Amino acid sequence: MPREDEKRFVGEVIEVLRGPEFRVRLENGREILAHSCGKMRRKKIKIILSDKVVVSMFLQYDTNRGIIVEREGFRKKRMDDLGEGTTKGKTRK
């Protein structure tokens, strides 16, 4: 759950920098520097060029930096990879 002073924006990754850092163009046209959050690093969620991401920013501090908290469509792609109608284990007749 976001804090009161936290704002979230949707953007697109336009440049992959070293480590977990990325240059992101927000929907309002601004370009910021953002890094992936700790949960994304621990779960090894890859972010590539032109991915749609959700960026969290604390506007009272630095408005040129943010944290990538979610990759748009990640859950949908993962569910599509699993396929519909798959079952675990053997089915009985």
Q: Where are the domains of the chain?
A: 6-81
**pLDDT for the residue numbered 10:** 93
- Fold that domain 6-81 belongs to in CATH: OB fold (Dihydrolipoamide Acetyltransferase, E2P) (2.40.50)
In the structure, what pLDDT confidence band is assigned to residue 75 with cuts at 50, 70 and 90?
Answer: low
**pLDDT for the residue numbered 63:** 85
Q: How many residues does the chain have?
A: 93
Task: Using the predicted structure, report yes or no on whether residue 69 has a pLDDT greater than 90.
Answer: yes
Per-residue pLDDT tens over the stretch 8-37: 999 999 999 998 899 999 999 999 999 999
By mean pLDDT, which of 13-17, 37-41, 55-59, 75-79 is the weakest? 75-79
